[in-house]
Structure 1
Amino acid sequence: MRALLLFSALFIFSGSAIQAQDTNLWKTLSKITYEKKFDELLGFKVDVPVFGDDIKALEGEIVEVSGYIVPVEGYKSHTEFVFSAYPYNMCFFCGGAGPETVMEVTSKEPVKYSTDRVKLRGKLLLNSDDINRLMYVLVDAELVKGGMDGK
């Protein structure tokens, strides 16, 4: 009986931790600063992200994040896309949001485009070196919850 209670408590706690993490992930990812560094290829200084300790602690971790799929030309399939904290009309590319509100996603299975908020789970990687890529990358992503039907 005691083991069952302990297992139940751990299950409830871990579910709450994932839910809390999902709710606060974009907020955590927004705590970023930038420094100017000279880029040899471009020949001028560019803004390079400086990740705080909270963000560095997430490097390589499995995270859950809710957001919106951004249709971006040039991505090869629905297994490679940009994911945004905000809907398309408010995202980094079209609205006033910053680069910390989007991430590149590579998913295990194709994810069907939807204008509804969806939830993904995957491994978070940080990028401060390649200016041709976004600073946040989610790999091995899986759809946790999608659209109005909850699938």
Structure 2
Amino acid sequence: MKHLSVIFILFSVCTASAQMQKHNPKDQLRSLNWDVIGSVKFELTDKNELLPIFTETIRRFENKEFGLTGYLIPIKSGQKQQKFLLATLPINQCYFCGQNGIPVMIMVEMENAVPYSEKPIQVRGILKLEEKDASYKPPITIKNAKLIY
């Protein structure tokens, strides 16, 4: 139920934002590190689980320091965020309306809460991979992250 409420909130915010602002494909962030994250593929099992398939490309960075620049997507309300999603597109691009598709996203767990920003942020922390159902939690996390800018 908790996951459904997060999805509903994100959908509501995206829908409202999409009505106020047009889509801008130039907002999409690209980098070699996002390419590493994007190398992960997914497989739908007979049990309806969405399991990640980690390539050697991303496994080289597992449990090592990893930096990434992206857009902060909150999963809880508040001006400061300590655990959030980081995406290649800003929240106003409305992932669920079909205009730009669903961007690559990862979970970020900060050492200290950071203020919400609509501008890209850069974080650095330890890259963790989990081989669990990605329907409930992103399989890629940057833990103990610090805000670089």
Q: Normalised by the shorter chain, which TM-score bucket? A: 0.5 to 0.7
Larger Rg: 1
Q: Return the TM-score normalized by structure 1.
A: 0.67
- Over residues 1-25 of structure 1, what are the superposed CA-to-partner deviations in whole Å (9 max), with x where a residue is unaligned? xxxxxxxxxxxxxxxxxxxxx9311
**Two-structure CA RMSD over aligned residues (Å):** 2.3
Q: Return the TM-score normalized by structure 2.
A: 0.68
Aligned residue for 2:21?
Answer: none
Write the distance in 2 (CA, Å) between the matches of 1:74 and 1:37.
33
Aligned residue for 1:61?
Answer: 64
**Structure 1 residue 74 displacement after superposition:** 7.1
Q: Which runs of 5 or more residues in structure 2 are unaligned?
A: 1-29
Structure 1's consecutive aligned runs of 4 or more residues displaced over 6 angstroms after TM superposition are none
Write the distance in 1 (CA, Å) between the matches of 2:36 and 2:56.
10
- Over residues 50-82 of structure 1, what are the superposed CA-to-partner deviations in whole Å (9 max), with x where a residue is unaligned? 01001111111101100010122379x611111
Aligned residue for 1:25?
Answer: 33
Higher RCO (C-alpha under 8 Å, 6+ residues apart):
2
Q: Identical aligned pairs, as a percentage?
A: 23
Q: Which runs of 5 or more residues in structure 1 are unaligned?
A: 1-21, 39-43, 146-151
Write the distance in 2 (CA, Å) between the matches of 1:105 and 1:63.
11
Aligned residue for 2:125?
Answer: 122
Count, aligned residues: 116
In structure 2, the CA distance between the partners of 1:57 and 1:93, relative to structure 1 (3 Å rule), is: farther
Write the distance in 1 (CA, Å) between the matches of 2:51 and 2:41.
8
* Preserved CA contact (<8 Å) 2:74 2:84: yes
Aligned residue for 1:89?
Answer: 92
